[in-house]
Structure 1
């Protein structure tokens, strides 16, 4: 089964660490990162899709994707 996550956060060092942690757990980048300005907070927001193939797992909407 292929899992999909979309990681988001402010454009800062913590976001890069979030993506790096996902990559270290076997997730792969999917597409290009995105940036958007949040007028409410005045900050740039980042997003990056990641995917991961897992075997022996059936999809359950209650699963914690970050723990896969």
Structure 2
């Protein structure tokens, strides 16, 4: 089964560490990163899709994607 996650967060080192952690758990980048600016808060938010192929599980909506 192929899993999909979209990681989001402020444009800071913590976001980069979350993506790096996912890559080191076997996830791969899917598409280009995205950025958006929240003028009200004055912050840039990043997003990056990642995917991972896993065997032996069936999809259910309660899957904790970050645990894979």
Give the TM bin, normalised by the shorter chain: over 0.9
Q: Which runs of 5+ in 2 are unaligned?
A: none
Across the aligned residues of Structure 1 and Structure 2, the Cα RMSD in angstroms comes to 0.6
Which runs of structure 1 show a deviation greater than 2 angstroms over 4 or more consecutive aligned residues?
Answer: none
- Scaled by the length of structure 2, the TM-score of the pair is 0.97
Count of equivalent residues: 68
Higher strand share: 1
TM-score, structure 1 as length reference:
0.97
> Could you list the per-position Cα deviations for residues 3-51 of structure 1 after superposition, in whole angstroms to 9, with x for gaps in the alignment?
0000000000000000000000000000000000012211000000000
Structure 1: which 5+ residue stretches go unaligned?
Answer: none
